[in-house]
Amino acid sequence: MGLRPAPQTQSPWRLGGLGIRGLATRVWQEIGNDEIADRAAALSYYFVFALFPMLLFLAALLGMVPNARLMDQLMEYLAGALPPDAASLTSRVLSEIVRGAHGGLVSVGALGALWAASAGMDSIRTALNAAYDVTDPRPWWKRRLMSIGLTIVFAGFTLTALILLVLGPEIAAAIAHSMGLGSIFTGVWNAIRWPVALILALVGVGLVYYLAPAVRQRWYWVTPGSAVAVAGWLLASTGLRFYVTRFANFNATYGSIGGAMLLLLWLYMTGFMLLVGAEVNAEIAKAARSRGRAAPDRERLTA
């Protein structure tokens, strides 16, 4: 059966008529009811198998941009988010994979990496269905194609953000020169690079919330859930890096696997915040329906 047209609804930023405290209470209860902590642990397991294929696929895409060394910049930004030991492990393993891939990186190797990376996105889909309290009636091939498509979109967003961050000054100078604009334009362009990268992250997470779960929703560029997920992930990553740098030595505790333990912990926090953001959106939709303030904003998909 096809989907009916999406109903008219209020903005999710009205929180479904809830206050911030009421929404936080509901989300906290659902984190326990939906076993979000356990599901985030399962996600971190799948993320381990999807992380390096995803980076390998990105390496193939970034290699198509001449003279940019975007992959090196990506690893630098990743090192800024990860604790040092985990970043070192990730960089070392990726370098070994890239060296072993040789010329097949852009063809068969990239396609294989895309397929493997989409497994991580598929695990996100399963976890989001639990957050939305639905089962997925779509056939397996449609679910897999959706996961592959979302993986490609995420790769495209990452590539765009990197180009803005790394090549932003050169792009601004070229535009200013060709159009006769002054230094003010260049300064403004360089100033908005980071906000634009943040917006790309918000929209990317919003696309996952919109397409991955087996529910029908209206599209919003930025939702409270995506804002909570991105902000929570940034705070958690910064906090973990600060704690490990200042107070903890995982290598002293876990030996040579300290970097792997930190990487798993970071991936766990990533999955946890992603699921918490989904719970925020789900609870807003439930509250809007129960209070009769809008027509149903979220319905189960039919096969």
84 in Cβ contact with 183 (< 8 Å): no
Give domain status of residue 27, yes or no. yes
Give domain status of residue 116, yes or no. yes
Query: What's the CA gap between 115 and 241, in Å, rounded?
Result: 31
Domain that holds residue 242: 12-294
Give domain status of residue 155, yes or no. yes
What pLDDT, on the 0 to 100 scale, is given for residue 295? 41
If you search the block for the tokens 């889909």, which residue do you land on? 125
Cα torsion through 220, 221, 225, 230, rounded to 10: 170
Give domain status of residue 112, yes or no. yes
If you search the block for the tokens 């449609």, which residue do you land on? 142
Q: For the segment 247-299, what is each residue's pLDDT rounded down to a tens digit?
A: 666 655 666 676 677 788 888 888 899 899 999 998 988 888 777 644 444 45
How many other CB atoms are there within 10 angstroms of residue 163's CB atom?
18
As to burial, measured by CB atoms within 10 angstroms (0-12 exposed, 13-18 middle, 19+ buried), residue 223 is buried
If you search the block for the tokens 């990186």, which residue do you land on? 105
User: Strand (E) positions, 58-146?
Assistant: none
Give domain status of residue 75, yes or no. yes
Give domain status of residue 25, yes or no. yes
Q: How many structural domains are present in the chain?
A: 1
Nearest CA among 221, 219, 213, 218 for reference residue 274: 213
Q: Which helix (H) or strand (E) holds 201?
A: helix 193-211
DSSP state of 291: T
6 in Cβ contact with 218 (< 8 Å): yes
Which residues partner with 131 through β-bridges?
none
DSSP state of 257: G
Using only the alpha carbons of the chain, give its radius of gyration: 21
What pLDDT, on the 0 to 100 scale, is given for residue 303? 47
Q: How far apart are the first and last CA of the chain?
A: 6
Give domain status of residue 6, yes or no. no
DSSP state of 69: -
What pLDDT, on the 0 to 100 scale, is given for residue 1? 37
What pLDDT, on the 0 to 100 scale, is given for residue 249? 64
Ranges of residues in the chain with a pLDDT under 70 are 1-9, 53-75, 77-85, 93-110, 112-113, 159, 162-177, 179-186, 190, 247-256, 258-259, 292-303
Query: What's the CA gap between 273 and 262, in Å, rounded?
Result: 17
Query: What's the CA gap between 235 and 228, in Å, rounded?
Result: 10
CA atoms within 13 A on the CB side of 260: 8
Whether the CA torsion 74, 80, 84, 86 is positive or negative: it is: negative
Give domain status of residue 184, yes or no. yes
